[in-house]
A = this chain, B = another copy of it.
Amino acid sequence: MDTARGSSPATPSPPGPPRTRSGAAPSAGTKGVPRARREEQILAAAVEEFGRHGHAAASMASIARRVGVTKPLLYTYFGSKDGLYLACLEHIAHRLVTAVEAAMTPDPQGLGPAASHVPPRVLAAVFDVLEEQREAWFVLYDRTLKPGSDLHAAAHAHRAAIDGLAASGTADVLRGQGNEDPLDADALKHVWTGTVGALVGWWISHPEQSAPEMTARCARLLAAIRAPH
């Protein structure tokens, strides 16, 4: 009783291909899904599992089941649990960095956008990237990774690009205030990424909200926080 068996997998079997003489057999052999597409499916399922439960609590068998496939396939494609995790890390880090970079350095003529317009733009970019895979954020920001492990280091490294962008933004805020304390800057950066995480967490528990709706809501909240009270 190890892996998926019998009933139809997550994705309904593609309309044309293989299909043994019997109606729909969960037997061995190719299912006509090329490796590249399978890898995408596996990656998507893995991101969701890892993001939801954290690296340690996520199980390979569970990911395989979600895709409608068995464990060994994951191992032939990704080598190991850590290998799969690393692939997830790279995948989403790349997408997030690209989007956030674009949001922070936009219009070609002239300088960057006005400082106070940056946070909403960044949030919009993040929500857009995460729309279909909201848990992805928590793969990157997985607090349960054992400090000192390779994975912890890898996650830290992949976060570095995003954290760097966050740091440049928050540092400006503090410098404008005459605050040059590097620890304050580091802490504020942490608070910013933590806030994004909190927003994504809220979004996950409100699946009906669209990315643009989230963006609008965040604009309201940011305004409320900044107003004098």
Contact = CB atoms under 8 A, between A and B. Distances in A.
Contact of A195 (B179, B195, B202): B195
A21 B177 CA distance: 67
A183 interface: yes
Contact of A224 (B144, B179, B223, B229): B179
Contacts of A179: 220, 224
A202 B191 contact: yes
A199 B190 CA distance: 7
A6 to B, nearest CB: 24
Give the copy number: 2
A174 B224 contact: yes
Given A191-B199, A199-B187, A224 B177 contact: yes
A125 to B, nearest CB: 18
Contact of A57 (B54, B186, B206): B54
B115 A221 contact: no
A111 to B, nearest CB: 16
Nearest to A218: B187
Chain A's interface size range is: 35 or more
Contacts of A225: 173, 225-226
Contacts of A227: 177
Interface centre among A144, A172, A183, A190 (most CB of B within 10 A): A144
Given A176-B229, A198-B195, A184 B56 contact: no
Interface of A: 52-57, 115-116, 138, 143-144, 146, 172-174, 176-177, 179, 181, 183-184, 186-188, 190-191, 193-195, 197-199, 201-202, 206, 217, 220-221, 223-229
The 8 closest A-B pairs by CB, nearest first: A194-B198, A56-B57, A190-B202, A54-B144, A177-B224, A191-B198, A187-B202, A53-B144
Given A184-B221, A186-B202, A187-B202, 20 more contacts: A54-B54, A55-B57, A56-B57, A116-B229, A138-B143, A172-B229, A177-B224, A177-B229, A183-B206, A184-B220, A184-B224, A187-B217, A188-B221, A190-B198, A194-B195, A194-B198, A194-B199, A195-B198, A225-B226, A226-B228
